[in-house]
Structure 1
């Protein structure tokens, strides 16, 4: 991380523009589904997992789109103002690639080929490819935009500004985030292993890839989503445990899709009346709702744990003839 801890001003602006473009693409499909819903709330309940029919019978978005829309918007603002921009861009880029790859093959599924117009299918495919390209561009921006320290000027930059060296998590915050992210990764993996054992490899593989299991064009297969979050959460837990300056942006980025997953599942449970009848449900259903609540609480707790700024990471070594700037974190 120290090799690309700070970015040149142009990289900050480029990263923010790429994130804004990703947010705009998600917004386009959300607005499209709003226009196809008999009532705007139908789209919300569809994202939650309830069956509501679109006016043309085709939904394009899933709960992933509003979740990422919020994440990209926050990250775009952060990229303009924060010293942790490199970590933000890398995390957002990796998440985008992980969640958008399955759409490439799911648009060739039988129900899509037979029930979706070629025009809409092509538009979604182009949009998905654009998202993947933007995700890769976020990562490239970090490596191409590495700075060599604070910009030259008459005085030190403002404390806490984007030219500061990214801060590590506090010792207590890093430990707490590590434990929480490790726990949620273990829970996600446990559910997937259980599903694999119950269903067998063939049905589980279809669930993992989305073959015949998706109801919207941009939906991410449930098991693919869970494994992706588990991977990122495990990475965030490791970074937080080591006190890496990458821990704060990665951990906070993971919290967005994790929080979205838990909130929309609880929304489904509330709308379906499962919360009121929780005492009559089977053990599996109760554990599922408990997991959703756990995901929400962990997300909020990790955000709080990583909000505090610890020590700054070692900055770039000043070049001969330059003046090194200092700032208080």
Structure 2
């Protein structure tokens, strides 16, 4: 038993190291964009979706996903180092998000349409995506080993905050999925599928997933987290917090871009579709914030491993024969 726990701690430490590596890659690419920006604020407007030009002939590399994923990786590493019962679930959440948001670049970065880039820049971006996918597999292995060596199992989440977060994440995921169904009907199956797998000629950043792929992935994360939280499963809490943070960042960035373009000031004059889109991103921002706060308060009491979790000593055992009272 002790040997298994020691092996699990070693694998967990390896998982923390991988998380730090992924966070470091995000930080390096963010530093690259800050260096090529005419003003540091241009990087924010790039993340918000504004068409901002980099200095000279340089190209952008990051999106809003990079700071959010980088922070999530650091928090997962901290959870592992603190031997939190939620650490394996945090590693799993980071791995799933990394797979979803890094996989498209393996296709878009290998096309011949991306030309005129700085020497080696496309190759390094491709390496980053490949490392992210390999690291995700290793994180899933580390998470599995961490579950096997844990001393405690996370208790069930508190009813009210877990239910609130499930409702908000589920509603946000359904709203995003509804917009994808709308675009599928408007564009047709083939053009819509092209927008999902990506058009290399329409990219803003090297590490940017296709817009509809990103929204579909965000909807999927929110719905999966909502399903787990509806059952008050503590294992769904890290994924729920990550999905809530992504929804909050997506909504705030879209609202900031709309305000910068003057759209929010003339909301009533917008077309109905634009109004609904604005309402959707505003709801995503509010839902993400409230769900994040609710999940921060939803933690249940951790319980020791019982017979269902593996061999262990029962909570109660009768006294040994030598200690029995007279006349027993």
TM-score bucket of the superposed structures, by smaller chain: 0.7 to 0.9
Q: How many angstroms apart in 2 are the aligned matches of 1:21 and 1:11? A: 15
Map Cα deviations across residues 152-178 of structure 1 (whole Å, 9 max, x no partner).
xxxxxxxxxxxx422321112222222
Q: How many angstroms apart in 1 are the aligned matches of 2:314 and 2:178? A: 53
- CA drift of 1:255 comes to 1.5
Q: What does residue 90 of structure 1 align with?
A: 92
Alignment of 1:42-61 (within 5 A): 42-55=42-55, 56-61=57-62
Q: What does residue 137 of structure 1 align with?
A: 138
Q: What does residue 161 of structure 1 align with?
A: none
The alignment yields a C-alpha RMSD, in angstroms, of 2.3
Indicate which of 273, 276, 287 corresponds to 1:287: 276
Q: What does residue 8 of structure 2 align with?
A: 8
Is the 1:207–1:213 Cα contact (8 Å) retained in structure 2? no
Indicate which of 235, 238, 241 corresponds to 2:227: 238
Map Cα deviations across residues 9-67 of structure 1 (whole Å, 9 max, x no partner).
33432222211111100111110011111111111111111111112231111121122
Map Cα deviations across residues 288-328 of structure 1 (whole Å, 9 max, x no partner).
111111111111121222222235467243646x687xxxx
Indicate which of 174, 177, 186 corresponds to 2:162: 174
Q: How many angstroms apart in 2 are the aligned matches of 1:264 and 1:9? A: 39
Q: What does residue 209 of structure 1 align with?
A: 197
What SS does structure 2 have at the residue aligned with 1:293?
helix
Alignment of 1:1-329 (within 5 A): 8-55=8-55, 56-81=57-82, 82-112=84-114, 114-150=115-151, 164-211=152-199, 212-307=201-296, 308-312=298-302, 315-317=305-307, 319=311
Q: How many angstroms apart in 1 are the aligned matches of 2:265 and 2:72? A: 31
Q: Quick check: 62-71 or 86-95, which moved more? A: 62-71
Q: How many angstroms apart in 2 are the aligned matches of 1:132 and 1:108? A: 16
- Provide structure 1 residue ranges, at least 5 long, that are not aligned to the other structure: 1-6, 151-163, 325-329
- CA drift of 1:127 comes to 1.4
Q: How many angstroms apart in 1 are the aligned matches of 2:147 and 2:265? A: 53
Is the 1:26–1:65 Cα contact (8 Å) retained in structure 2? yes
- CA drift of 1:146 comes to 3.6
Change in 2 beyond 3 A, CA 1:284/1:165: same
Is the 1:67–1:257 Cα contact (8 Å) retained in structure 2? yes
Q: What does residue 324 of structure 2 align with?
A: none
Q: How many angstroms apart in 2 are the aligned matches of 1:237 and 1:200? A: 29
Larger Rg: 2
Q: How many angstroms apart in 2 are the aligned matches of 1:42 and 1:187? A: 30
Q: How many angstroms apart in 2 are the aligned matches of 1:49 and 1:110? A: 25
Q: How many angstroms apart in 2 are the aligned matches of 1:191 and 1:314? A: 44
Q: How many angstroms apart in 2 are the aligned matches of 1:198 and 1:299? A: 28
Map Cα deviations across residues 158-201 of structure 1 (whole Å, 9 max, x no partner).
xxxxxx42232111222222211211111011000101111112
What SS does structure 1 have at the residue aligned with 2:242?
helix
Q: Quick check: 137-146 or 232-241, which moved more? A: 137-146
Q: How many angstroms apart in 1 are the aligned matches of 2:188 and 2:293? A: 39
Q: What does residue 160 of structure 1 align with?
A: none
Change in 2 beyond 3 A, CA 1:314/1:302: farther
Change in 2 beyond 3 A, CA 1:42/1:203: same
Q: Which one scores higher on RCO, CA 8 angstroms, separation ≥ 6?
A: 1
- CA drift of 1:117 comes to 4.1
Q: Quick check: 139-148 or 272-281, which moved more? A: 139-148
Q: What does residue 322 of structure 2 align with?
A: none
- CA drift of 1:142 comes to 1.3
